[in-house]
Structure 1
C-alpha cells in the first residue's frame, strides 16, 4: 500500500485558469442547460397530457426525456459552479453523488435505446401481436426494470469504490467519474476492474446486442416490404438510429480519453468532448423526436393552437 490519506475533497484540475473567459463559458453552458430543461419538460408534459401519445413508443420516449433531465441535474449545477469558481474543489460526498448520477444516467440511456429498438421491432416485424406483447403493464415493468437495474448495478460499483484507500485527490476532469477515482487507489483494484467489465457487459454489450438484433430484423422486413411500409418504418427508426450513433461515438471518445494517454490533445478539446457526451443527447433527443415524428409535431401544434385561442378569449 502507498501513502494513503483520508481524502475529503477532490480537485478538478481540468478547468485550469479560465480567466475572464469563464463568464462566456458560464453563459454558454447556462443557455445550454436552460434549453435542455425547456425542450425535455415540454415533451414530457405533452406526452403526459395528450391521450393520442399514450402509446408504448411515446411512453418510452417520455422515459428517455425524464432521464435527460436526470442526467442534466447530475452534470450542470456543479459544472456551472466550477466554471465561476477559482478553486475547483468538490467534496468527496458530492463527487461520489455526481459519479452515481452520471453513470446511472448513461446506463439508463443505453438500456432505454435498446427497449425502444425492441418496441419498433415488435411493431414492424410482428404487427398482429404487438398490442398483446407490448401492453401498458409491460411498458411500466420495462421502465421500472431499466431504472432499478441501473441503480443496483452502480450501487455495487460504488461500494467497491468506497472501500479503496486513496493516494491523491487530483482528477483531470471537469466532473467526477468512477474510473478516475479508482485510478487514485493505493491498493490493487482487480476486483473493481473485474466487476467493471461484468457490469459493462450487462449495461452496454447486452443492450447493443438487442439493438443490433432489432434493427437487423427491421431492415430485413423493410427490404421485403412495399415502399410505403418502408417509409413508415424508416420515419420512426431513423431518429433512434441517429441518436444512438451519436451517443455511441461520443461515448467511445470518452472511453479512449480515460483509458489512454491524451496529453497531446489540448485540454479544452478533451473538456469539450466530455461535455458533448453528457449534454448532447439531453439536447438532441427531444429536438430530433420533436422534428422528425409527425405525431409529436401535430400534438405540439394542436396544444400551441389551443393556448393561443385561450389567450385570445
Structure 2
C-alpha cells in the first residue's frame, strides 16, 4: 500500500475467515446469545417500568443498565451476525465511525451508571435518614442525564476529530470497528490525538473507579459497626453491584489492553474472545445478577408473568 493518503470510503475486517458450513453454527450460537441479551434486558426494563413498587432510585438505575446493554448490543450484534454469513466483510466509513461511537459510549455509560449506583448505595447505607431527601426524583434524573450526556458529548467531539484523519489503508484486524485500529491507519502524526484519547479514557475509567472504591470503603466501615440484620441487607443490595462493576472493569481492561499490542502478533482466537467479552458477558450478567439476587425484582418478574398469563386466559375465554 502506498504511503500517500487514499482516504478509503470503506474498511475491511480481516479476522473473518471462510469456515464453510460451520458459519451457520457460529451464526446460530451468536443469534441465540443476542436474543438472550434482548429478552433478559427487556424483561428487567419492563418489570421496573410496570411495577410501581420498583419506582425507586436503585431500580431505576438497574433499568438504565438494561437499556444501555440493549443499546451497546444493537451497535455490535446485527453487523457481526451479517459478517458471519457474508463472504465479504466490508463496512462503509460512516457506518464504521457510528459503530465506534456507539460501542465507546456504551462503555462510558455503563461505567457512569455503575458509579451513580455506588453513590446511591452509599447514601442509603451511610445516611439512611437523609436518603429520601438526598435521592429525590429530580436528583436521580440529573445524575442520569449527566451520566449519559457527558461522555456522549466528549466522545462525540473526540471522534469528530479523528474521523477526518487522512488514512493510508483500509484493513482492520478486528471483528468490529475500534478507534485505535482506525487511528493506526492514519497517514499523519497522531501523537496529540493519542495522548488526548488516553487521558480522556483514563479519566473516564479511573475517576469512577476511585469513587466506587471510596464509597464501598465507607460502606464497609459503617457495616462493621452495624447489627447483623443491617449487614445482611447491605450485602444483599451491594453484592450485585460489586460483581457487576468488577466484571465490567475487567472486561473493558482486557479489551483496552489488546490495543497496546500489535494485533498481527496476537492469536486470532484471543482477539475474538477479548473483543467479545465486554459486549457479551455484562449484558447477560446484569439481568441474571439483579434478577436472581434482588427479591424485589424477582418477585416483580414473577408477578409480571402471572399477569400476562392471566391476560391470555381471559383473552382466550372472551374469544370462545
Instruction: Tell me, yes or no, whether TM beats 0.5.
Output: yes
Summarize the Cα distance change of 1:238–1:28 in structure 2 as closer, same or farther, 3 Å threshold.
Answer: same
Between stretches 15-24 and 207-216, larger displacement belongs to 15-24
Classify the secondary structure of the residue corresponding to 2:167: coil
- Structure 2 contact 173–263 (Cα < 8 Å) conserved: no
Summarize the Cα distance change of 1:312–1:264 in structure 2 as closer, same or farther, 3 Å threshold.
Answer: same
Cα displacement string for residues 18-72 of structure 1 (whole angstroms, at most 9, x for unaligned residues): 2221111100110111111111111111111110000000011111111000001
Q: Which residue pairs with 1:59 in the alignment?
A: 60
Using the TM superposition, give the Cα deviation of residue 262 of structure 1 relative to its aligned residue in structure 2, in angstroms. 5.3
Between stretches 253-262 and 178-187, larger displacement belongs to 253-262
Q: Which residue pairs with 1:257 in the alignment?
A: 258
TM-score by length of 2: 0.94
Classify the secondary structure of the residue corresponding to 1:11: strand
Task: Tell me the distance in 2 between the aligned counterparts of 1:99 and 1:156.
Answer: 13
- Structure 2 contact 76–99 (Cα < 8 Å) conserved: yes
Classify the secondary structure of the residue corresponding to 1:129: helix
CA RMSD of aligned residues (A): 1.5
Cα displacement string for residues 242-290 of structure 1 (whole angstroms, at most 9, x for unaligned residues): 1111111121211221211355543123202211221211111011100
Between stretches 167-176 and 11-20, larger displacement belongs to 11-20
Matched, 1:156 2:157: yes
Q: Which residue pairs with 2:74 in the alignment?
A: 73
Between stretches 100-109 and 266-275, larger displacement belongs to 266-275
Cα displacement string for residues 136-162 of structure 1 (whole angstroms, at most 9, x for unaligned residues): 001111111111111111111112212
- Structure 2 contact 173–264 (Cα < 8 Å) conserved: no
Unpaired runs of at least 5, structure 1: none
Matched, 1:135 2:129: no
Task: Tell me the distance in 2 between the aligned counterparts of 1:255 and 1:192.
Answer: 16
Task: Tell me the distance in 2 between the aligned counterparts of 1:169 and 1:195.
Answer: 24
- Structure 1 contact 50–299 (Cα < 8 Å) conserved: yes
Q: Which residue pairs with 2:110 in the alignment?
A: 109
Summarize the Cα distance change of 1:190–1:265 in structure 2 as closer, same or farther, 3 Å threshold.
Answer: closer
Using the TM superposition, give the Cα deviation of residue 206 of structure 1 relative to its aligned residue in structure 2, in angstroms. 1.2
Q: Which residue pairs with 2:312 in the alignment?
A: 311
Between stretches 264-273 and 251-260, larger displacement belongs to 264-273
Task: Tell me the distance in 2 between the aligned counterparts of 1:155 and 1:190.
Answer: 19
Q: Which residue pairs with 2:273 in the alignment?
A: 272
Task: Tell me the distance in 2 between the aligned counterparts of 1:114 and 1:165.
Answer: 37
Matched, 1:87 2:122: no
Q: Which residue pairs with 2:187 in the alignment?
A: 186
Using the TM superposition, give the Cα deviation of residue 78 of structure 1 relative to its aligned residue in structure 2, in angstroms. 0.5
Summarize the Cα distance change of 1:170–1:263 in structure 2 as closer, same or farther, 3 Å threshold.
Answer: closer
Classify the secondary structure of the residue corresponding to 1:15: coil
Cα displacement string for residues 76-130 of structure 1 (whole angstroms, at most 9, x for unaligned residues): 0100010111111111011000001000000000111100011100100110111
1:112-123 to structure 2, matched below 5 A, reads 112-123=113-124
Between stretches 254-263 and 43-52, larger displacement belongs to 254-263
Task: Tell me the distance in 2 between the aligned counterparts of 1:263 and 1:89.
Answer: 19
Task: Tell me the distance in 2 between the aligned counterparts of 1:303 and 1:160.
Answer: 47
Summarize the Cα distance change of 1:3–1:262 in structure 2 as closer, same or farther, 3 Å threshold.
Answer: closer
Classify the secondary structure of the residue corresponding to 2:259: helix
Cα displacement string for residues 191-220 of structure 1 (whole angstroms, at most 9, x for unaligned residues): 211221231133212111111111111111
Classify the secondary structure of the residue corresponding to 1:175: coil
Unpaired runs of at least 5, structure 2: 315-320
Aligned length: 313
- Structure 1 contact 114–211 (Cα < 8 Å) conserved: yes
Matched, 1:147 2:148: yes
